[in-house]
Amino acid sequence: MPSGISVTPDPLLGTSLVKRLSALALMLLAAASSASAQTSTAPIGVTAKVQSAVTLSGMIPLDFGTGIVPGTPATITPASGGRIMASYNVNTQLSLPNTVTLTRAGGGTVLVTLSCAQSASGASPAPTPFATDCATGYAATLVANARTDWWLYVGGAITGAATASVPAGNYAGNATVTATYTTF
């Protein structure tokens, strides 16, 4: 600049430029933050299949005791007889045969007619009899829509005629419990 000339800056011009630059910076920041706030969503399906699980455990045998006098009937109620626990996570039909033939090593058979009952407890003094016979079974449903433990009780009757003419000895057999259910 030539000597003797002085330039005085205009305070309004400088302030106006600062204000304009600040406003521009704010607009750029606002545009950038609104662009990053944009989202898009879509669902992803999630599935699981829980397999059916049915187990039978805790078997207590049906035992007619120390001896049956030949020709004398013998009866054991389901509450005093054998029992087994069914654990299941799907509605299940539980059944047993109506009769079991006991055999003795060396020959001889004794027919036992079974009676069946059920209860939520393995120590029920009065389990509920099956609505029909043992072979038709019991429709065990889930309790509270969760895995359930349920007990089957088995009693039996031997007629006097079944023991009148058979040899003395130990007779044994099995009543097979069948659990029928839908598999997943």
Burial (CB < 10 A; 0-12, 13-18, 19+), residue 130, is buried
In a domain, 100, yes or no: yes
In a domain, 64, yes or no: yes
In a domain, 59, yes or no: yes
Q: How far apart are CA 108 and CA 88, in angstroms?
A: 38
In a domain, 41, yes or no: no
Number of compact structural domains in the chain:
1
Between the alpha carbon of residue 99 and those of residues 69, 96, 173, 177, the distances in Å are 21, 9, 10, 12
In a domain, 35, yes or no: no
Residue 145 is part of which domain span? 54-181
In a domain, 149, yes or no: yes
| pLDDT tens figures, 118-143 | 999 999 999 999 999 999 999 999 99
Q: How confident is the model at residue 37 (pLDDT cuts 50, 70, 90)?
A: confident
| pLDDT tens figures, 41-73 | 999 999 999 999 999 999 999 999 989 999 999
The CATH number covering residue 143 comes to: 2.60.40
This prediction's pTM = 0.76
In a domain, 7, yes or no: no
In a domain, 16, yes or no: no
